[in-house]
């Protein structure tokens, strides 16, 4: 096949695909610039990163295919949707990264994000702009119980399936693809991003140097994401799980009973 190959970065919504795919795209941009194939100041340059779910800029996609060795595309869609709706993408996938986040963390992140950006508690529809107020009222715990009932965010299930099905579907697709694949834990990735991205690059056969990855992580660091869209995206202490203070013991037990088998089987 002539033209660029694709690093496909997949993950359930609120699992860190933006950070991971953005870091990959930035690392590729620095590598391509070092090889003389990309001028970062050129506003019409080919792109090294695309988001698949909203819409694919096909003209930019073709420019990137024609001009670059590799670029990355991120998606929340299950693999069968990517195959069906974007065959031109699937045909060029050269490696797959699946970003896996602890489902209890996904639930809390979804709740924070929807309250901050849309002004209501997901699943309940209660108007609210303060995550802390919703937690004090018990609405965060109520949403968490809905998340467990549906095995994912109720609003996400029609589009992307449950957390469990999404994970299992991509794991199966990776096993069948016959391509270099890697699974990254987002909870660990944000604590040591350079080391884990370099390890993934080695597994995937990506020729990035440490300098490329360090620059990429600096551009996509959680601190910069927080500055751009708010504290709800990344907690101030990335090493601290944020649900124990929000949920009762019975809720936490429910979460582990709901997702425990998948978490243990797939090593979250």
Closest CA to 262 of 100, 80, 98: 100
Closest CA to 85 of 58, 110, 105: 58
Whether the predicted pLDDT of 137 surpasses 80: yes
Distance CA 212, CA 29 (A): 9
249: which residues sit within 8 A by CB, 6+ positions away?
none
Beta strand extents in 67-195 (DSSP E only): 70-75, 93-100, 181-185
Summarised one tens digit per residue, pLDDT across range 85-95 is: 999 999 999 99
Query: Residue 234 — pLDDT band, cuts 50, 70, 90?
Result: very low
Query: Residue 261 — pLDDT band, cuts 50, 70, 90?
Result: confident
Whether the predicted pLDDT of 39 surpasses 90: no
Between 98 and 223, the higher pLDDT residue: 98
Candidate from 38-52, 87-101, 128-142 with smallest mean pLDDT: 38-52
Average pLDDT over residues 77-83: 96
User: What pLDDT score does 40 carry?
Assistant: 61
Summarised one tens digit per residue, pLDDT across range 196-211 is: 999 999 999 999 999 9
Distance CA 144, CA 247 (A): 8
Half-sphere exposure of 267 (CA within 13 A, CB side): 9
User: What pLDDT score does 188 carry?
Assistant: 86
Asked whether the whole model's pTM tops 0.85, one would answer: yes
User: What pLDDT score does 238 carry?
Assistant: 53
């Amino acid at each position: 096949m002539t033209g660029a190959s694709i690093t496909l970065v997949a993950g359930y919504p609120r699992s860190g695909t933006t950070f991971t795919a953005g870091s990959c795209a930035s690392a590729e941009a620095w590598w391509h610039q070092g090889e003389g194939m990309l001028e970062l100041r050129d506003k019409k340059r080919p792109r090294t990163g695309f988001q698949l779910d909203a819409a694919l800029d096909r003209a930019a996609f073709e420019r990137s295919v024609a001009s670059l060795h590799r670029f990355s595309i991120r998606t929340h869609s299950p693999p069968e949707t990517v195959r069906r709706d974007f065959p031109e993408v699937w045909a060029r996938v050269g490696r797959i990264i699946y970003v896996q986040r602890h489902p209890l963390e996904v639930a809390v992140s979804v709740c924070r994000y929807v309250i901050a950006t849309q002004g209501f508690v997901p699943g309940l529809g209660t108007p609210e702009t303060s995550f802390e107020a919703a937690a004090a009222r018990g609405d965060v715990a109520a949403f968490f119980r809905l998340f467990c009932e549906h095995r994912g965010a109720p609003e996400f299930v029609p589009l992307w399936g449950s957390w469990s099905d999404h994970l299992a579907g991509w794991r199966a697709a990776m096993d069948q693809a016959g391509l270099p694949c890697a699974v990254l834990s987002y909870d660990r990735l944000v604590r040591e991003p350079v080391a884990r991205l370099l390890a993934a690059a080695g597994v995937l056969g990506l020729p990035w140097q440490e300098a490329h990855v360090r620059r990429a992580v600096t551009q996509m660091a959680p601190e910069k994401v927080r500055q751009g869209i708010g504290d709800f995206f990344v907690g101030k202490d990335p090493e601290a799980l944020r649900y124990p203070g929000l949920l009762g013991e019975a809720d936490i037990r429910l979460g582990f009973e709901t997702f425990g088998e998948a978490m243990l089987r797939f090593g979250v």
